[in-house]
Structures are given as structure tokens and as C-alpha cells.
Structure 1
Amino acid sequence: YTVLPLRAGRFTIPPQTIRAGGKLLRTQELVLNVADSSGRSSGARPGRATQPVTASELVFAELIVPKKVAYVGEIVPVQIRMGFDPRVHPRLVEPPEITGQGFTAQKLQESGENSESINGRPYQVVTYKTAIAAARAGKFEIGPVKAKAQVLVPRRPSSPRSRSRSPFDLFDQDDPFSDPFFSNPFSQLAERREVQIRSEPVALEVKPLPPNAPLSFSGAIGNFTMATDAKPNSVQVGDPITVTSTISGRGNFDRVNAPVIEDEHGWHKYPPSSKFKQDDEVGISGTKTFETVLSPNEKKQAMPVLAFSYFDPVKEQYVTLRSEPIAISVQGGAAPAPSVAATQTGSLAPTSAARPGSPIPATTKPQDILYQLTERPRAAASFAPIYTWPLFWMGQLIPLLGLLGFAAWKIRRARIDNREARRIAALHHEASQLMHKLHRNDVSPREYYAEASRVIRVKAALASGGRRIDPNMVDVDTAAETFKLNSDSRDRLRRLFEQSDEWQYSGAHNGPGRISPENRRDVLKLIENLRT
């Protein structure tokens, strides 16, 4: 049954009697308190037109911040409620996001989903949880929360007309969800609309932390407890002792650091390790465990006191937790030097052992383990990087200078090789030009023998290779040695040079004024056969 009050007041629903299984069953009497609802008439008449459904009425967002005043760095839990009418089949396009400046927010975690009735309307409410921390002091507005979703709504006809009543609007009370589409989705076409979801912002006042924080304060804000333990309890000097510190509570665990040692004299401390186990979705509550290795440098009877400080926002003051005394036993130390008496006893041991009935003296067993050194060595070693040493950079100059010298040598060799290549190319060109002239018939004997001897000198210079012979310095013996001529070729070469000198210096020749074809062929054959 659905009951709708038509006016405000206190109503009594009488007991109802029903028959079941041959018996009469009677319900209890119910009392219904009806508050006055402004803005709605109690005398609605059936059949009147209602307002069309608006997409913004189908969803809502609510931002819940339990605290109105916080401190800088304090973790404040935040809850976001997103409500959707289940009859519109919502689809979240963009997840909720807390907007604003001056604070940091952790990742949203979906906490749960449940059905609620708000102002007589059913909603499917999804709850998200997160936490925020203010970065500076001042007054801020947290939010609003913004999201985007798609909802299914009926497509309106082009011409207005009266609509039929929906089973959801039992008394025709202008319910925006009473459209017949929601009771019969196939009565008309539907469409998805994108709606913006926006909550109201929440004001938050952020105070700065008070001054004069303890030395062991690392920024932890909240409420914490500390427990410590040390194992093993009996060690030698220099042996490691693992101290386990457990800090539990509620607060900003990202700023919770390992407890500090109030008196480090006689102890060597190693960097601690930590692990965190959270007890809620956003990591505000949990337990953080630290393991610190301490090594005693001298005999000790108790562990040093560990201190952890945090700021309690409820008490508005700093709180310092200190560990309880833990008794331990530290024995040993540096190995004692052997005394003179012990040395004498050891030296007399063979003599006394020979006597019957004399006790055998105990010998001192050499110590196997060397304990940790507690004194600085006489020569201090430097741990500065090697690139800061002047000697290192002076050593780098040696390969650098060698590289520069090698580059200069390569450049010089390239230039020398380039000059030699140009010289050889010029000699080849000159030899080619001279051979071309020797094949002409209009050349005088003087020019012919001069050019023939010049060709031989040029070819000898080219054939000399690495000796780099100047063509002007080539004579008969040099050419014959270069081309490795036999005696006959050597004689023919000598006669050619003599004829060239005779035509060059005397200006006359005892033979004819022209060169016979036979002599020309002999000269060309001699020159062409000159090869290394």
C-alpha cells in the first residue's frame, strides 16, 4: 500500500486485520508525523498537466567535509555522494573531481553503493572517499565537485499534448519522474542526454602550525602511538642490533619518519627501512613500521631512547613520544695485548711440562674476529671524486697532446701527398705531350733529340717511385739503372743522349739535316720499351 498525506499533522494508522490459514492476524498501530511542505499544493487534481522532466533533476552530487577548521598539512577525510535516479540508467562519463586551489587531494576510492529515498524519490547513491591536505594557511573553498554523466530521458514530441498518468505518480502530484516513459520505455523513443553534475562548495579555514616545534618533529599531524623492540639483547661490541619501531594511529603517514636517537654517543646508526599497512580506503589510519640497525661501539647496558614527535590538532599542541628503556648486554672490545707474565709463562711451559705432576699452563687463544674500529686512522683518506684531482687533468693532457700531434702529422702528410700527386700528374702530362711531338714528321733533328732525351728523363723520374728524382738530374747511368737496361739498350741510350747534347751545344751535326725514318723508329722503340 502507498499512503500519501494531504496535509500536515500527526496521524494514526489503525491496526489492520487479515485472515491467513484460518486465523485472524492483526498488525500493530502506526503513528505517522507529516511535516508541512512549502511550495506544493495539497489539493492537486487528477488529470492536470505536469512539467516535463529535466535532466538536472535526475542526478545530484554532495560534498561532505567533516571539519571546518584544519591545520597546514593535516589530513582531512572527504566524502562525495553521487545520486542517480535508477530509472534513467545513468552512465558516468567523467568521474567526480574536487576542484579548488590551496590543497592536495588523494585518489578517489569508491566506498560503496546503496539505495536511498530522498524527498520521496528513489536514488541510487554511490559514495566516494578521499582525503585532502592544505598546503598553506588561509580560508579556502573546497570544491565544488564536478562530474559528467549521461542519462536516459524520453524524447518529447514536436507538438505539446497532455500525457497519461504514470504508476509512479499515484496521486498526480507533479512528480518530474512520473513520465510514462519510465513505466513503459517502449511507449515512445528515448535519448541519452549529457548532464553536468555539480555540488555546492564547502568552506575550510586552515591555520598555520605553532612555532617552536621539537627537533624530532618531521611534519606528522594526527594522533599516534609508538612501540619499540630490539633484538638480539646480548651482543658483542660492533655487532648489529635491529630496533623495530611501530607507529600506529590516524594522520598523515606520508610525513611520519623514523624516530630519532636522542643520544647517539657510542652508537653507529644505519639508514632505516619502512613499510606501511593502511586500515582504511584512503590511508588515513594504519601502522607504519621502521627497522633501524644500530651497532654499539662500546660496552652498553641499555638501548638509547628513541623520540617521535607529532602535532595533535585536537589538543592543538606538539606531542613527543619516547621509547621505554630496553635492557641489553654488550660485551667485548678491542683484543688485549699479551702481558709479559703470559709471555714468560708460555716460554716456561716446555720446561715445566717435563716435570711430573706440574700443571700445564693455559695458552691464550688468538682472536679470530676483529671488532669495529672506533678510532680514526692517522692518515686521513680522501673520498673526493677522481675528476677533482689536478693530477687527473694533467694526465688527460698527455693523450690530448698526442691526438693533436697525430692530427697535425696527418694534415702535413696529406699536403705533402697532394704536392707529390700534382708533381706526378704534371710529369705524366709532360711525357704525353713530348711523345705526341715525337710522332710528328716536321720536327728538326735538334728539337727531336732534345724532346726524346727529355721524355727519357721524365719517364725515369716517374719510374723512380719514392726516390723522387728530379728529371733534370737524370743522366744515362741513372736512366739505365732505373729501367735495368742491358748493354745493347744502354749503348743505344748513350748514343741518343750524345746526339742530343751535340745538337744542343754545338749547333751542328755531322749527319744529314733530317732524321731518317729508320732512326725515328729506333728512337721511338727505345723510348716505348723503357719500363720498370
Structure 2
Amino acid sequence: MKILTAISVLAISCAAAFAQTVETGFYPAEIRPGGYATYRVTLKNADGASVNPADIPVPADLEIAGTSRSQNYSFINGKMSSSVTLDFAMVAGNEGEYTVPAWKIPLGSKSLDAAAATLKVSASAPASAPQRMVGFPSFAAPARRQSHAYDDSFKNSITLELKLPREKIYVGETIKCELVLSFDKSLFENGYRLEQVVPQIKNMDAFECPKFTEEPVIDREKALVIYRTVITPLKAGEYDLEFSAAVVLNREISLDDIMGMSMMDRLLSMGSGRRIRFNAPMKPMKLKILPLPAEGKPKNFTGAIGKFELAEVSVSPDALSVGEPCTIVAKIAGTGNFNRMNAPALDGARDWKTYKPKSSFADESGNQGYIGIKTFEYTAVPKAADLSQAPRVAFNYFDPETGKYVEELSEPVAVSVAPTIRSKTVREAQEEAAKPAPAFSKISEGVRTENSANLFSSKWFWVSQAAILAAAAAFVAHRLRARRLETDPAYAKKTEYSAKARAALREALASADSPDAKKFFTAAREALRYALAASSPEEARSLSLKDALARSEEIGLGDAQTAAIKAVFDGADALEFGGGDAGASGRGELAKNLAETVRQILK
């Protein structure tokens, strides 16, 4: 129910020729406690605008004691303009500064902006002679006395209290609490009805508290309104914690009230009640915030404080090859400070390359971030073959109830990691080596001539002999190379990796000017991996940036080539795992440095 019905502001249509504006302010701007001031709203040329007093964001401890309205018309250069002045008598009982914030006044399909206005209430304010304000009813003074009576009565009938589950609270801990507003049942027996409660954080210098988003629990039997929220201490030490609640009560209008009202207020109050605003304070609560103990604190403490469990850890895919990425997903459930929980470390990741994990949170506490499941997703790439299990998740947290740290290590998850290239076995190589070589000495056997002198003097004889010898040498070289490829895995690997490095380099150079940055960086990284691994025992696809830089130092590459290696690996990782942008500028220069780097590695 609204205090008053909407006051419609009507003006003639020709007023639209002038700008539509709103002016607001308090007159006087400073009064003594128990005095009153006029909150004035002036609408100029606002045809169709309407002001509902109940929509004015009046601060707590201020009360609208009456209203008046006046209208003025004027002719300027043959055009008519209009203005409507709405005066609201405001009663203030306590010292302080009261600000009506900026608000909007509806005007058809749009709205007008009303600026903020501030009233100062001080015992040292200039005294004003008692006088009746023009247009206001004479009930303003009784209303002030009645407001003081309400304040005195409510101080004994409405209390605000903060309840915590325990006295020991640690810094960084998210702790659940209840803000309880209690009412004396006699209020409701005397015709009061609770219309609105707005809890507010009054003193939170050393604490963090989310907004009150959950609906309160109302216990009508005990006349209680309970708001549940959480607080997080930000610093260790002794600090005050204080809340307040802006309460709006509605009381049925009595005969005495009607006798003290003007005719306009009587008409506006029909069918509603008298709204009474009251600020329910809370006695400041001094809390001693404890620091986290140093004893037993894990080296890689996640920052989690509360009650948690490592609910689930999975790896996908669990069958992969060296250099192929997999995703390790860890889900942590419980209650506590999820927003301050860092990613757990991975245990046993020496043979894996890992990247910074992504995290997400499923809140189950009404947007308070106190109860739910936090998920971490790690990208891991095996650097060696025949690994039997993925890295394990090493989670830890601090339990504020026991005052001790808890460490959990996930169960092993089996994986199968195959090498990227399978060479022939030693047995197969030995079998090939045992095969007899061709008898080249018998090639010319059985050749006879009756006239050897003529044969040896013929130039065609020597040409044919040279051709036979050249073919035999080529055949022998081919067989020797084939046998070496079969019997020397290192030579075979170098030959194959060199060819793959050159093919990947051609692909990278062809896509250097392409808008597809990922294609360029992926091919460039493959070219470097195959080139660097060609003469080393490492597999190409498992070669990390750290491995590549160490290998380049062994080879003796220059600063420009080392910088090119780092730029290629960083760019490829950013596009593949981080979802980042490796950038399109400077790719032409990088391609030139890449070609020179691969050439120097393979020479």
C-alpha cells in the first residue's frame, strides 16, 4: 500500500516548446533535530509527468509529514510555459546528514532525472522561528512529537542481533551467520504491520560480506525476521562488526490521526495506513580474528578454509601418445571460502608438461559462494612413453573447527602412453644384417673374347665397363644406406625427422601470411620439434619449450634463433591451450628467423 496516491502533473501541450527539467532541494538545507525542512521538487514543462511520494527514496530517520502543490503559468515570447512545485515536509529527529539520492520521474515512455539532495541535521543549526509553512497542514508539529514517540517506543520493542556459530574465527574464513530482527508482539496487537526490512552493513572495514540476496525467514510465532548471510574477515586482530536494519511499519489510521490531518492528507490516506520508518541499530560486536597457524601449513597451501572433500578426479582421454594433451578434471565439494581457493598442485608430473588450469564454480548457497562445487581443469602433455598413471591432484585445506590442516591426494588414475614412432626391433635388424650381400665379382664372369687386344683397345668396351661400375657403386650405396636405416635406429630417426622438419617448415612458410595464425604456429613448432629431436634421444612431439631451449644451447644457436624458438612455442601454446591470441603482426619476420633456425639445426 502506498502512503499517497500518485500526484499527476498536468500542463498544456504548448509547454513542449520549452525544455523539460526537474529541480530538487531542501529548504532550509540545515535544521535542528526535531525540526522540519521542505523537500521541493519543481517540474518545468513536464506535460504528463507524475510523482508518487512513496517512490521518493527517502532515507531512514526522515519522515514525510505533509505535502502541498502549486502550479504556475507564464508567457515568454508569445509562448506559454508551465511549472509545478511539489513540497514535502520532512521531519528529522536525529542528528546527521540525510541524502535523498538521485531518482527518476516517469514521463510517458521516458523519464526525468531528479538530482540528489542533502539535508543536514545538527544541534548547532540556526534556530528558525516557529511558523506554519504555506500550503502545509498544521499537523506537522504533532507529527514530529509522534515521530519521537515512535522512536522511543521502537527502541524498546525492536532489537537487532548478529548470531555466529562459534567464537573462534580465522582470517580468510567464510563463516555463516544470522541477522535476527526481533519484535515485541504488542506492536502487532496495537495495529502495526511489518511492511519492509532492509538489512545494511554499517561497519565492515575489516570484513567482506555479500549483498543480502536470500529471502528472509519469518517466524510469526516468535515475531522474528532472520536474514542468513556470510562474512569473511580480511585481517587478523580485533575489529568491530556492526549491522543495522531500515524498518518500515504500517499502522492503521486512528481517529486521532484523522483529526490532525489536512483535508488533502485525509483524502490521500483513505484505504491505506501510516507508514513509519525506523532504523534498528545493532550494538557493535567486537571480534578477535585469529591468524592461520604456521605449524603444519602445507608448502603449496591452496588458501581453502572450511570443510571440503576431493569429490572426483578424472582423466580424458586415458589412452594417448607422447605429445598428445589430455584433460585432468578435479572437483572439490564442501562449504567455505571457495572464492579464495587456489588450484591444487599436481603430484608426479615430472614426465608431464602441465598448463595453468581453468576453474569454474557451481554455487548452491544463493549467490553467497559458501556452498558448492569448484572444478579445476588441467591440460597435461606426456613427455615420455610407457607412463602408467596420470599426475595425481594434491589438495589441502584448513579446518577452522579442528584448527588443523588437512591434506588429500587423489587416487591414481591409470593411463596408457605410447611412443610416437616405433622402430624395428633389434632381432629384425640382425636378421636383415645376416642376409648375404650380392656377389658383384661374378657379374663379368663368363665373358670371353677371341681377340682381347682388339677388345681392350675399343672405346665402347671402356664406356660399358664404366657404366657397369657406376651402376654397381650406386647399388652398393643404396644397399648400404638401406641396411643402415634398418640396423641403426638413430640414423633412421635422424633421416625421418629431418624430412618431417623440412616438410613442416614448408607448410609454416606457406601459411606465414595466412589469417590462420594457429596453422602457422602449429606447423612452425612441429618443424622445430622434429629438427631439434633429429639428433637427440627425445621424441619430437614430447619436446617442451624448456627442452627446446636446452637443446638449442647444446647446439650453440645464437640469440636470434633462441628468440625465434621461444616465440614459436609460446604462440602455439597460447592458441592451443590458453585460448589466447598469438598475434598476426610480425609473422613474416618470424618465418624468416624460423627458416634460418631450422637450417642451422639440420646442417
TM-score (norm 1): 0.47
- Alignment TM-score, normalising by the size of structure 2: 0.42
